[in-house]
Each structure stands twice: as structure tokens, then as C-alpha cells.
Amino acid sequence: MTAKLTNNQIAWRAAQDIPDRAYVNLGIGFPEKVAQYQPPGREVIFHTENGILNFGESPAPGQEDWDVINAGKKAVTLKPGSAFFHHADSFAMVRGGHLDVAILGAYEVAETGDLANWSTGPKGVPAVGGAMDLVHGAKRVAVITDHVTRDGKPKLVQRCSLPLTGVACVTRIYTSLAVIDIEGGRFVLRERLPSLSLDELQALTGAELLVPGPIADLIVPEL
């Protein structure tokens, strides 16, 4: 079993790339963890598509205001300088290119930048929420994900097999093993866990990894 980053460590790594003064949307679930690892000294404003800019952490149990929730319908708190707005304005922020960064989860990411993260197929009740809007929402659309599925299959693939959320939308992927950019329809390796050889990483990846020279080590603190 190869060593790999925990979800907290993947979130930490993604957080390091969010610049000062950025407006950021974090997908519900795993991507919400990114907010915990904001490097000190940077001011970042989080957007939630149900209508709040500049929300903060969850309130203490019993202190919830159920009109102050995030897109995952969890209670949040407001920071000084927050704003409320209706849904058309909220998605104008999204589609209009006003967000700097969106960080989303994934079932599959293709080397073309296609993302599948909303449906695992025709069974059950389909639900999309804001996923298809958010992939067109930001100047940078990053994905955080385990490098492989629970049964060891690559999540980074040539072409997605699951229903697409968006076409050619992802720009960077933070996985449990590596940091990979998508450029010109190819996976370009930027960082990898030092304990992992290039061959091992390639074997766990469903499309060719371009290696543009010496690759930086993916170094993340214990969290």
C-alpha cells in the first residue's frame, strides 16, 4: 500500500494556492475543508451560492441561525463585511467570471479538463444543484480528490465514463498523490509524493502524465 495524503492534507495543499484577496467558492462536502487551512496573512472571501459572501465557520451547537446556511445547508456564521443576495445575483457572480477560484470534488477528471462530479449513472434520483454552474464559474477551477477510487481504479482518465458536469473546465487537480495541471488537453505533472516513483504514479493514472522536467516533491505537514 502506497502512502498517500489524507483528505485534510489534500485540502491543506489546495489552500496554499489560494491567493490573497481571492473570492472563492468551495464545493459542498470535502472541498469545504479547504477553508480550515487558509495560510495566515491572506484575506480570502468565501462565496456560497445560496446567497452569502464572506461567511465563516459553523456556529456552536445550539447557536444556529437556519437562515444563515451554506450550500450544503449547514449553519455558518457571518464575518464583518458579509453580504446577502438573491440567486440570480449569486449565479451572476459564478457564471460572470467574478470568482477567482472554485474548488470542487470529482468522480472522474479527464485529461481534456472534462469533469464528472454530479451523477454516478441512471440509478436513483438525479440531483445536480449548482455543480454545472460552478465549473464555468471561476477563473481557476480546481479539483481535490483521491487519486484512485475506493477499489483502486484511476479517477484521472482519458475520457470520463460518468455523466459530465462540464467540458474542458478543470485547470488543476490536487490528489492524494500529486498536483497535476491540465494544459492543452493533457495532464502535466507538477508535484508528486516523494515516496512514489514516476512509474508507480503513472500506473495509477488513466492517461499519460507529461513530465516537464524535474518534479517538485509534494510536501504536506501532518494534520
Partner 1 sequence: MDKTVADPATAVAGIDDGMTVMIGGFGGAGSPIELIHALIDRYRATGHPTGLTVVNNNAGNGHVGLAALIEAGMVRKLICSFPRSADPVVFTDLYLAGKIELELVPQGTLAERIRAGGAGIPAFYTPTSYGTDLAEGKPVAEFEGRPYVQERWLKADVALVKAEQADPHGNLTYRAAARNFGPLMCMAAANTIVQARQVVAAGAIDPETVVTPGIFVQTVVEVSDPHQEEVLNRADAAYPLEA
Please state, in angstroms and rounded to a whole number, the distance separating the CA atoms of residues 174 and 117.
15
* Among the listed residues 140, 91, 135, the one whose alpha carbon sits nearest the alpha carbon of residue 115: 135
Site string for partner 1, 100-119 (x = CB under 8 A): --------------x----x
Least separation in angstroms between residue 49's CB and partner 1 is 7
Residues with a catalytic annotation lie at: 49
Residues 139 and 99 sit within 8 Å (Cβ to Cβ): yes
We find the least distance from the C-beta atom of residue 192 to partner 1, in angstroms, to be 30
- Write the CA distances from 26 to 4, 6, 50, integer angstroms: 23, 18, 12
Task: Tell whether residue 165 is a contact of partner 1 (CB under 8 A).
Answer: yes
Among 17, 91, 140, 183, binds partner 1 (CB under 8 A): 91
Candidates 10-18, 38-46, 66-74, 189-197: pick the segment binding partner 1 (CB under 8 A).
66-74
Give the 3-state secondary structure of residue 99.
strand
Largest CA distance in the chain: 53
Our CB check for partner 1 shows the closer of 51 and 206 to be 51
Q: What are the DSSP calls for 140-164, one per residue?
A: EEEEEE-SB-TTS-BSEESS--SPP
3-state SS, residue 93: helix
Task: Please identify, using beta-carbon distances, which residue of 8 and 91 lies nearer to partner 1.
Answer: 91
Q: Which is nearer to partner 1, 43 or 89 (CB)?
A: 89
Site for partner 1 in 6-65 (CB under 8 A): 48-52, 64-65
Of 34, 138, 141, 164, the residue at the interface with partner 1 (CB under 8 A) is: 164
Give me the residues paired with residue 210 across strands. Answer: 188
